[in-house]
Structure 1
Amino acid sequence: MTQFPIVHLPAWPVGGAAPEALAHDIAQWIGSAAMAALVRAFGGDLPAGDVDARLAYLEDFSMVWDSRAGGERVDARYIERDDATRKLIEAAAPALGLAGRQRPPVERYDHVLILGGGRITGRARAQFAAELLASGTSTGTVTGLGSLRELPARPGQQDDPEITTEGDAMLAAVRQAFPPAGEIVTRTGTTADGNGWWAKSYPSDDRQINVVAAPPTRPGQRANTPDTLTGWARFVTRPAPTDRVLLATTDLYVPFQHAEAIRVLGLPHRCGIDTVGFDTRSFGAWPNGPSHPGELLQELRSAIRSLHTLHRQTLHVQL
């Protein structure tokens, strides 16, 4: 199988990074051998030019990898590829950060954030975070991120009647991974534009555990990853420029969620950001098995779009 050199995701250390350093890291990622091979395999040719122009090309080109057509991930329909293309995608994934990023680069973090999802995803990510903290990583606080998005009923399965939203699912997952050792304190509120939110906190061992159901920031739309990150900083903990923040997610979402965390947490608050994800091929708490090659391409497109937005926003921010 083809092997590609590993490309580092954009670095965002404590105190932030200079715009030119971030642009350099993004340029290395989009100009990598793995990216070039994937683009060529699907009929493209990444042009020369500045970082923004190349990102714009990739964002337009990556429509060929889109299986969602503007819908939710659960509604995506992935195309089956021939064996050579499938092997190329699987070889490019670890090089581009869509796989193989399970261990954080440092041992101590001020905050660990568990990215939200449905019932199964939330459980797996919370268990992944718990295993990280049991195997050498340390932190002062753990926060599960969710929203008030209603979860669809699962055909043929008996769902817990108390779990109706993404926030409920995350609370159940976090309580299972980090059992309460004291009272659960609840705060609720409504934003100026009429969206509700809640935050719950409790002690577990020597850590503060939180779960937030964050409101959307875009009128008429559900809360997405940037909204839940913003909700944590607004309703739970405002990070300091001296803080290190670790995101725990699923491997194929690491690049795009890392970019979004830099954009909505790193740029305004200058806290350090690292992102890791459990391996869908081997993690015991993940029952759904390896990611489909189409999912990897879809999340590569998500990463390109998020990095493009981050790069454009960085041009207007002075650290």
Structure 2
Amino acid sequence: MNSFTGGPDAIDEIERTAREWVAAEQLRDLVAIFEGQIPPSGTREALAWLDEFSAREWDFRGGRERSAMRLRDFEPGVAATITRSLRGLGLTGRSTPARDRYDRMLILGGGAPACFCRPAFASALIAGGLEVGGVAALGSDRPLRQVEREFLAAAGAAGRTEAEAIEAGARAAFGTAGAEVICAGRGEPATRANTADTYDAWRAADPGGHETILIVTTDIYVPFQHLDAVRKLGLASACSIETIGVPAGFELPNGYRVSFTLAHYLQEVRSAIRSLRRLLAAVDGDGTIADSR
């Protein structure tokens, strides 16, 4: 579940990839160790079941930010099954671009450390020979938590929002003119911008007809953020979208190292389920599910 070509001609590919992901042995085994069984039904029905199942078993956020999610330990056999499933489901091993050149590179924001790791990783790819026609760093007006502001201060930067954090990270990685920064906001006071909202903000700022787009995130988030990109950017145009991620273990010069627990990975399997369900709903014209948060 990685490279898609968007537009109406991509619907068959989206349907096929969705069927294969839902029917994957790795997902079946992951569900089984939590005493579930994916129903032998259509892809959409199976995703609806998986949405409910993962809400019970793998939702450690409960509506909170990812940084505030509950953590959980797993006995060795369960931990081994989870770990074996990750690559097959696309949450690891997606760090190398398939092409040598892209029309646009989009670097996604997140927590303050991610706002430095992702631009640094992207910059290293370009230094290694990857060609891009332009770079945009996408963030939001989400207020930073105190620990994030402290991370920025330790990096010699300052900021109060995610967009300011990704701007500081892009500046550290690319210099003063290396990346355009896009900030997405939400009108409702009870919500904040999510990944899909930042794609909307970028498309509004750069509506040009780009044929190839490379999205840079962190590898644990590749599936759900890629699916959101296909829904928000790919369905409306005939562009090819590829998503890669900073691998676990990537280290910044200040010693910060990317790492996650198995609970984090299960949470993002749930995110992928929900994003795939929203993508298929968009294909069907079902705005109630496609636009849900």
Q: TM-score, normalised by structure 2?
A: 0.90
Structure 1 counterpart of 2:185, from 212, 215, 224: 215
Structure 1 counterpart of 2:47: 55
Structure 2 counterpart of 1:70, from 39, 60, 63: 63
Residue 87 (structure 1) shift: 1.3
Partner secondary structure for residue 137 of structure 2: strand
Higher-strand-fraction structure? 1
- Asked if 1:166 is matched to 2:162, the reply is yes
**Identity across matched positions, percent:** 35
Higher-helix-fraction structure? 2
* Conserved? CA contact 1:127–1:177, under 8 Å: yes
How far apart in 2 are the matches of 1:83 and 1:59?
A: 26
Partner secondary structure for residue 212 of structure 1: strand
Bigger Rg, structure 1 or 2? 1
Structure 2 counterpart of 1:259: 227
* Conserved? CA contact 1:98–1:252, under 8 Å: yes
How far apart in 1 are the matches of 2:173 and 2:149?
A: 26
- Cα displacement string for residues 78-124 of structure 1 (whole angstroms, at most 9, x for unaligned residues): 21111111111111111110001001111110000001012211000
How far apart in 2 are the matches of 1:294 and 1:158?
A: 24
**Structure 2: runs of 5+ lacking an equivalent:** 287-293
The amino acid across from 1:293 in the alignment is L
How far apart in 2 are the matches of 1:150 and 1:39?
A: 35
Structure 2 counterpart of 1:234: 204
RMSD across aligned C-alpha pairs, in angstroms? 2.0
* Conserved? CA contact 2:119–2:170, under 8 Å: yes
Residue 40 (structure 1) shift: 0.6
Structure 1 counterpart of 2:289: none
Residue 289 (structure 1) shift: 4.2
How far apart in 1 are the matches of 2:53 and 2:6?
A: 34
Residue 232 (structure 1) shift: 0.7
* Conserved? CA contact 2:149–2:158, under 8 Å: no
How far apart in 2 are the matches of 1:294 and 1:222?
A: 23
Partner secondary structure for residue 18 of structure 1: helix
Aligned residues: 280
Structure 2 counterpart of 1:306: 275
The amino acid across from 1:90 in the alignment is T
How far apart in 2 are the matches of 1:146 and 1:18?
A: 28
Residue 217 (structure 1) shift: 6.0
The amino acid across from 1:153 in the alignment is Q
Structure 1 counterpart of 2:139, from 128, 143, 146: 146
- Asked if 1:124 is matched to 2:117, the reply is yes
Structure 2 counterpart of 1:186: none
- Asked if 1:89 is matched to 2:82, the reply is yes
Structure 2 counterpart of 1:38, from 27, 30, 37: 30
Q: TM-score, normalised by structure 1?
A: 0.83
* Conserved? CA contact 1:217–1:223, under 8 Å: no
* Conserved? CA contact 1:225–1:260, under 8 Å: yes
Residue 170 (structure 1) shift: 0.6
Residue 316 (structure 1) shift: 2.7
